[in-house]
Structure 1
Amino acid sequence: MERLERRWPQLADVEFLVMEVPPAVSGETVPLGGSVPAEKNEPARVVVYRRPVEIRSKNRDERALLVHEVVVEQVAELLGLSPESVDPRYGQD
């Protein structure tokens, strides 16, 4: 996270959250994370959903990598960039 914030100073105003599970969505794949752009007096938010990430990862190292990828993907969404632009090491591990 610190590396991303150094590279993208505009992330200083983004709120990063961990929630247990995403809101219920019928018939779709369960998301691992989400992002919400800033509105009026609310900051932009990046959310990682803990339970889906735990279920899709086999161990601590895999979980850490998955969380990083989810955060990079959601930051990319907020900034209107590709994940590779946000973090050149995205998808290389």
Structure 2
Amino acid sequence: MSSSDLSPAGGDRHVETAPAPEARRRRDRRGRGIRGPLLPPGSPGYRTRAERFDDLVLDALARVERSWPAVGGTELAVEDVPPSDPAPWESGGVLLGRLFPAESGQPARIVVYRRPVESRSLDGEDLAVLVHDVVVEQVAHLLARTPEEIDPGFGRR
């Protein structure tokens, strides 16, 4: 039985049918079309804040590695927040970064904590400078030197 068989007096009245289930799933509930990203994947605005922060940390370490090649084997990590149980020698204030020295065949690891660093910066430029300073501080601890020896411009920006 077709939809024309159901019409009164056998007229050519068209009966609308519901869209197929797969078509309904691709549209939002108000029928405005398929939702997608606002920005194309290649544009700078497409990247998340965390991804941009990761790039800043990698750039900072690359700048330090040019002057101090001994840092080359160091692992780098970014975590959102520091753990709630700081080490005994880490007293006062919120940690912005931490150094885990090399031990039992594992390379040294520098960890930068994203949220505390972001909350202390005013804008994107200030964030880049602060990330660089945190990485320089941790490299200085790793190499048992002062941050000014690692980067003569440390803390002056």
Q: How would you bin the TM-score normalised by the shorter chain?
A: over 0.9
Higher percent of residues as strand: 1
Residue of structure 1 equivalent to 2:144: 80
- Counterparts of 2:118 and 2:64, CA distance in 1: 23
Farther off after superposition, 59-68 or 24-33: 24-33
Query: How does the TM-score come out when normalised to structure 2?
Result: 0.56
Farther off after superposition, 43-52 or 21-30: 21-30
Relative contact order higher in (CA < 8 Å, ≥ 6 apart): 1
Aligned runs of 1:30-49 on 2, under 5 Å? Answer: 30-49=94-113
Structure 1: give runs of 5+ residues left out of the alignment: none
- Counterparts of 1:28 and 1:11, CA distance in 2: 27
Runs of 4+ aligned structure 1 residues displaced above 2 Å come to 25-28
Q: Which has the larger radius of gyration?
A: 2
Confirm or deny that 1:10 pairs with 2:70.
yes
**Sequence identity (%):** 51
Structure 2: give runs of 5+ residues left out of the alignment: 1-60
Query: How does the TM-score come out when normalised to structure 1?
Result: 0.92
Query: C-alpha root-mean-square deviation of aligned residues, in Å?
Result: 1.5
Residue of structure 2 equivalent to 1:71: 135
